[in-house]
Structure formats: C-alpha cells, structure tokens
Amino acid sequence: MTSADVVVLGAGVIGSSIAHTFARHKHKTILVDKQQPGQEASAAAAGILAVSSGRSKRGPMYQLKKASQTLYPALIQEIQQATGIDIEHQTVGVLCLIRNDADEKKYRKLYELRQEQGHLVTWLSAEALRQAEPALNPALRGAVHFSGDHHLHNGKLAEAWALTAEKCGAQLRTGTTVTEVRRTGGRIHSVRIGDEWVEAGTVVIATGSWSRQVGELFDITIPVEPAKGQMLAVRATQLNHVISCDEHYLVPRKNGEVIIGSSVEYVGHTKDVTLDTVQAFIDRSEALVPGISKAPLSRFWAGLRPYSPTRRPLLCQAPDLDNVVLATGHHRNGIVLAPITGQLIYELITTDQPSLDLTPFALPREPLPPPGPDESPDEAD
C-alpha cells in the first residue's frame, strides 16, 4: 500500500498552500482534486489581497490577514521562479471611493485606525483622485488609498501554486477523489483515492464549498456553505488601481481587462450568471466610471466561496478524529489568507503549537444563525 505523511483533499489555493508547505519540508505529500487544480473559487476570485482596506478591524481575522499578507512577496517570487508563470502581482493598491457624508464618516474612522496600525494609507482630495484616476466620475469627493493592499491574478496563482507543490515533491492526483476511508479507533488509517488505498499520517480537508459533502465520508459535520459570487470582465484599460465602493469593485488586470464584481448569494452549488446581477454591475460601474458600460464584455462567470457560519475560516482538528484537520471556510478572504493557512496547518500538524492562536478558528460548538448580512465578530469597531 502507498503511504503518505499527509493527504490534502482539494487543490484550490488553500490545499495547494498546505501541500506546498509540507512538500517544502520534505514530508511525503499527496494533493488530491476531483478536477485540475485551482478551477473553483480560487480561479473565480478578484485576487485582491485586502487587509487595510478590508472589513476586519482589529480582531483575529485582521491578525490572520496581516500575517498572511507579509508572507506574499517571498512566496510570489518562489512560485514564479519554480514555474515560470507570471502571477501578475500589482502593487498599485486599492482606492476606496468617497461619494457622500456617510462614506466620508465610515472611511475617516478606518483611515485613522489604519494609520494607528502603521498601514500605508493616504486621504485623496477630489483633485488628487482625478489625477490618480482620470476616468472616474468627477463628482466623487475623494478616496482613501490603501497602498499596501496589492492584487494578483488568482487563477494563475492557483495553477502555479499546485505546480510548485509538485516541484517540491508533492504527488498530485487530479480527476479523482477519496471514495472510502478506513478507521482504527479515533484515527483514519487509510483513504481510497480512486482505485488506490493510501495509508495516511494525516488527512487535511481543504475542499472549499464542498467540505460539508467531503466531511460526511469521515462522519464529520463541517458547516460550510457555498456563497455564490458573480463576476464580469470587460476590455477597458482606463483604470490604474483597484477601485472599491460599497461592496462593488473594479480590478484592472495586466491583459487590459477590468474585472467587475461581485454578488454574495446563498443558492447552493449553482454557478449561474443572471441578467439582473449583470445589470446591477453595469449600473454601479457606470456611476463610478462614466462610459464603461460601452466597453466590450469579454467574460462572465460565478464562483462558490466557502462560507463558514463563524464568519472565520475553520482551521482546526476534526472532532473525534486525531489525524483529520480542517482548512476551509475562507469565504471572501481565501486568496489573501492562503499563505498563512499553509503555515499554520503545517505547524498545527507537526508541532501542535501554531504560531498564531487558532482558538477563534475552531468549529462552532452550537448551531449558528444562517447566512445573513450580520457583521462578522471581527468587523465591529
């Protein structure tokens, strides 16, 4: 029988980050995906590494994002060198637009907090905004520039990360899945991947919004739900920064596309793109960038974010199973959080002493309310 120190299920950015970390440390690693790596949420995302412009103010999610963001520059270099794939890392930052008094009040508070925390933030007047982004609506009052929040091509990152894990020695098993497991007491002894039984030191479940279904095979309830996000891409080269306004964003890519998104919908595993949402994207974008509605539409798609009712990722040991670990539920933050997730899951498994406290990322003890617009515990002031 084949054996592995760790079998990672799911080769999105989360699974690939974990597999890469183990393989880099010379552990025998198998990374399994039912498709090719990085075809789901990790490819669908906008690729914004949002920390200072993000909604987590100071709590555990903020700390997690900040720690992850600092790992990115070296990681990008490593992945690009290993694979020759340009991940299109852009360091222009995020502009959060100010249209009215309510925006001004909200961003004044965030701007002051981020300054206190030592982030690179600049308050732009209407005139300064016009100079930075001449294509924006001249009626805008200004913006806050969060220059430390970079962005990248998440689809290329996801593909290249799995490849990097492989180059470090991880074995990739794609187009297949785990269909059966064998237990010995409170441990999983082996898993069947396709036709092959593999003796597994540890199994990591990193199957994004399919984690609930994969958990059933292990008799674990993983309370993760798909949260659909629709996206459009247009051919429009007039933007320099990531533009963010009231949950709506426009992200310039190096190939001349601008990505426009996104919605958050709890409608199961469907990935339909609907005309009403497209219409709303067009209207919101036109209000910010006059004339953009005339830009040629190049692509549209939807992806499924893994939503956890704790509103934080689940980074923890599975209940009653010593050697099964969960790394899922990253919802809107999986791209920014992938590097630190790989590191912490590695530390959890190999030392049981992760460098950040993982208590806030445990499975909920009691049922939590269904998805809604409520603030996450880390967004409150």
Ligand X SMILES: Cc1cc2nc3c(=O)[nH]c(=O)nc-3n(C[C@H](O)[C@H](O)[C@H](O)COP(=O)(O)OP(=O)(O)OC[C@H]3O[C@@H](n4cnc5c(N)ncnc54)[C@H](O)[C@@H]3O)c2cc1C
Binding site for ligand X (CB under 6 A): 9-15, 32-35, 39-42, 44-48, 177, 206-210, 214, 229, 231, 261-262, 303, 305-306, 328, 330-336
Closer residue to ligand X (CB): 72 or 107: 72
> Using DSSP, how many helices (H) and how many strands (E) does the chain show?
9, 16
Closer residue to ligand X (CB): 15 or 142: 15
Closer residue to ligand X (CB): 62 or 142: 62
Minimum CB separation of residue 40 from ligand X in Å reads 3
Minimum CB separation of residue 332 from ligand X in Å reads 5
DSSP state of 376: P
Dihedral of the alpha carbons of 323, 329, 334, 339, in degrees to the nearest 10: -20
Minimum CB separation of residue 139 from ligand X in Å reads 27
Residue 88 Cα to chain centre, angstroms: 16
Minimum CB separation of residue 341 from ligand X in Å reads 8
Minimum CB separation of residue 262 from ligand X in Å reads 4
Sequence-distant (6+) residues with CB within 8 A of 46 are 151, 154, 231, 242, 249, 251, 259, 261, 262
Minimum CB separation of residue 138 from ligand X in Å reads 27
Minimum CB separation of residue 355 from ligand X in Å reads 21
Closest CA to 13 of 86, 79, 104: 79
Single-letter code of the amino acid located at 7: V
| Helix residue ranges per DSSP H, the chain | 13-24, 41-44, 60-83, 101-116, 126-132, 154-167, 211-217, 275-288, 334-350
- Residue 311 tokens read as 């509103």
Closer residue to ligand X (CB): 15 or 354: 15
- Residue 149 tokens read as 């929040």
Closer residue to ligand X (CB): 142 or 151: 151
Helix (H), strand (E), coil (C) string for 182-216: EEECCEEEEEEECCEEEEEEEEEECCHHHHHHHHH
Sequence-distant (6+) residues with CB within 8 A of 118 are none
Closer residue to ligand X (CB): 40 or 166: 40
Residue 18 · residue 342 · CB < 8 Å? yes
Minimum CB separation of residue 229 from ligand X in Å reads 3
How far is it, in rounded angstroms, from Cα 88 to Cα 159?
Answer: 13
Closest CA to 148 of 76, 73, 88: 73
Minimum CB separation of residue 242 from ligand X in Å reads 9
- Residue 290 tokens read as 């006059």
Closer residue to ligand X (CB): 145 or 212: 212
Closer residue to ligand X (CB): 132 or 264: 264
Closer residue to ligand X (CB): 33 or 166: 33
How far is it, in rounded angstroms, from Cα 177 to Cα 165?
Answer: 18
